[in-house]
Amino acid sequence: MAERPYVIDQMISAKAIAARVEGLAREITAHFRGTDKLVVVGLLRGSFVFIADLVREIDLPVEVDFLEASSYGDALHSSREVRILKDLRGEIASRDVLIVEDIIDTGFTLHHVKRMFEAREPKRLEVCALLDKPSRREADIRATWTGFEIPDEFVVGYGIDFAQRNRNLPYIGKVRFTDGAA
């Protein structure tokens, strides 16, 4: 299958992202103040850049773990079927846990992951998402902290990909297809 031609229009600058990450980290630090260790769980793969920047700004002892879940594959739209491709290495029972997500779209993946984590009985469980598209929400889920609310656009950059490309962009950009097809 031939790749559709597209361009990327910058939506959120690297500077704006860095400033917001600092603000989120301050709020998260205040919320979890007093914890002996915060388990920060990145949802792979899109959150890896965000989680790296975020944990460096959180002023608490942290442990980092990852879970890989997918409902997209290489598609533009969610399949609504959540698959766990890599589970946590550590235990979260009776621990303070922060789930870090790149983008909340339909909410199916995060809803599934949060319910799975709740069953493991953490002490506290919160969610931080870099991006939120509330107009696309189909599952009843909200992040405790959100970096940016965005319109219903397909975005890439800062760890977020389109068919495994564009993760390395330092900003968030909107994908605009140039072949005229929807």
Strands 145-149 and 155-156: unpaired
What burial letters (b/e) apply to 26-40, b meaning 16+ CB within 10 Å?
A: eebeebbeebeebbb
End-to-end CA distance of the chain: 16
Q: 78: number of CA atoms within 13 Å, CB side? A: 19
Q: 140: number of CA atoms within 13 Å, CB side? A: 1
Catalytic residue among 102, 105, 132, 179: 105
* Active-site annotation holds for 105: yes
**Tokens linked to 82:** 């959540």
Residues 58 and 85: beta-carbon distance below 8 Å:
no
Residues 137 and 78: beta-carbon distance below 8 Å:
no
- Radius of gyration over alpha carbons of the chain, in Å? 16
* Catalytically annotated residues: 105
